[in-house]
Amino acid sequence: MILTVAAPLILRGMVTARYAASIFVGGAQVLQNRTAVVFGAAVRGGYPTTMLRDRLDAAIQLYRGGLVEHLLLSGDGHREGYDEPGVMARYAMAQGVPHDALTLDRLGLRTYDTCYRAREVYALRQVVLVTQAFHLPRALFTCEFLGLDALGLSADRRAYRSARWYDFRELFALTAAAWDIVTRPSPDGGLEP
């Protein structure tokens, strides 16, 4: 019983410590010639939620600064009437990012899927992952074991109302990610572009 409770906490601590040096707050440390992978999050009424908008703003800042030349916008876009990457692209283009600097991955249904597809479908090798700090250790862990050279850019621009819930959820999400890395399933959405 104690091991069942302790194991996710130990794994989270180890992964967080392992990837701390690969997570940056500002874009100045990001090496050039990488593609920014922006992880999807909820959209409402055709607009990005605050958390997703912060991810997009951080990626757009990298693009404007010449630190990345391309953004892979990955999220859930396979359901009728719900399209995270489409909303993300409209937002980025409204901020001046040209359409040809964007790739929409509508089958990035989970972190594992996004990382797997970045390598296998979009043939990326060096990426900067753009998401909130709570998510970055798991995303970097997943990318490393899938063969992607990844850095992380924290998109935290404010305190989030549900931050404690996200931290708690990461314990279980990281355990699931470790299982995915061991079993290497095909992404839920498949391998089509």
pLDDT in tens, 39-93: 999 999 999 999 999 999 999 999 999 999 999 999 999 888 899 999 999 999 9
Kind and range of the H or E run holding 183: helix 163-183
Extract the tokens encoding 2: 């104690």
Over residues 174-190, the pLDDT tens digits come to 888 989 988 988 887 77
Q: Is 188 a domain residue?
A: no
- Please report whether residue 52 resides in a domain: yes
C-alpha distance across the termini of the chain, in Å: 43
Alpha-carbon distances, residue 110 vs 55, 77, 98, 103, 130 (angstroms): 16, 12, 26, 17, 14
Compute the distance between CA of residue 37 and CA of residue 41 in angstroms, rounded to an integer.
13
The helix or strand, by DSSP H or E, that contains position 72, with its residue range, turns out to be strand 68-74
Give the amino acid at 117: R
pLDDT band (50, 70, 90) for residue 148: very high
Asked whether residue 191 is assigned to any structural domain, the reply reads no
Please indicate, yes or no, if residue 46 is contained in any of the structural domains. yes
Q: Is residue 161 part of a domain?
A: yes
On whether residue 177 sits in a domain, the answer given is yes
Count how many domains the chain has: 1
Comparing C-alpha atoms, which of 62, 74, 61, 54 is closest to residue 34?
Answer: 62
For the whole model, what pTM was predicted?
Answer: 0.91
CB 35 within 8 A of CB 70: yes
Residue 136's domain spans which residues? Answer: 19-78+87-183
**Cβ(175)–Cβ(7) below 8 Å:** yes
Residue 193 lies in a domain: no
Q: How far apart are CA 2 and CA 101, in angstroms?
A: 49
User: Does residue 99 lie in a domain region?
Assistant: yes
Residue 62: which CATH number? 3.40.50
